[in-house]
């Protein structure tokens, strides 16, 4: 029966390629997010603005959830006041529990473009 399925799909290698595509489509994107302490990332604030950040903590059991220090442009008038976060230390915002988003959703992090 396995041979018949492979032949129907054009050969064994085609079957393997289709299975690989199905597996990749079913795996959540967050599985690929592997934040590491000290890693530069982009933080997206609630207005959709991308800001430079550095990961300072990765939560055990979920490498896509991280705390980070977000850097704000004080010279450009950005005092971090429009960003969700508990602490603002003169241009550095400490943000806990920030999830990964491949699509740059607000209040998430992603790898630099």
Given this model, what pLDDT does residue 80 score? 66
Mean pLDDT (whole number) for 70-96: 69
> What's the whole-number average pLDDT of the chain?
73
Q: State pLDDT tens for residues 24-71.
A: 343 444 446 889 999 999 999 888 889 999 999 999 989 899 999 998
Given this model, what pLDDT does residue 45 score? 87
Strand, coil or helix: 4: helix
d(C-alpha 68, C-alpha 59), whole Å: 11
Given this model, what pLDDT does residue 59 score? 94
CA distances (Å), 93 to each of 20, 59, 106, in order?
A: 41, 18, 16
Q: Please indicate whether residue 101 or residue 80 has the higher confidence score (pLDDT).
A: 101
Q: Could you tell me the residue ranges of all domains in the chain?
A: 2-29, 33-110
């Amino acid at each position: 029966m396995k041979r018949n399925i492979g032949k129907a799909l054009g050969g064994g290698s085609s079957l393997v390629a289709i299975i690989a595509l199905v597996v990749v489509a079913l795996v959540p994107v967050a599985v690929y997010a592997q934040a590491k302490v000290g890693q530069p990332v982009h933080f997206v604030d609630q207005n959709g603005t991308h800001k430079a950040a550095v990961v300072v903590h990765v939560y055990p059991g979920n490498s896509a959830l991280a705390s980070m220090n977000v850097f704000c442009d004080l010279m450009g008038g950005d005092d971090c006041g429009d960003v969700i976060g508990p602490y603002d230390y003169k241009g550095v915002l400490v943000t806990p529990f920030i999830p990964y988003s491949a699509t740059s959703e607000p209040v998430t992090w992603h790898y630099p473009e």
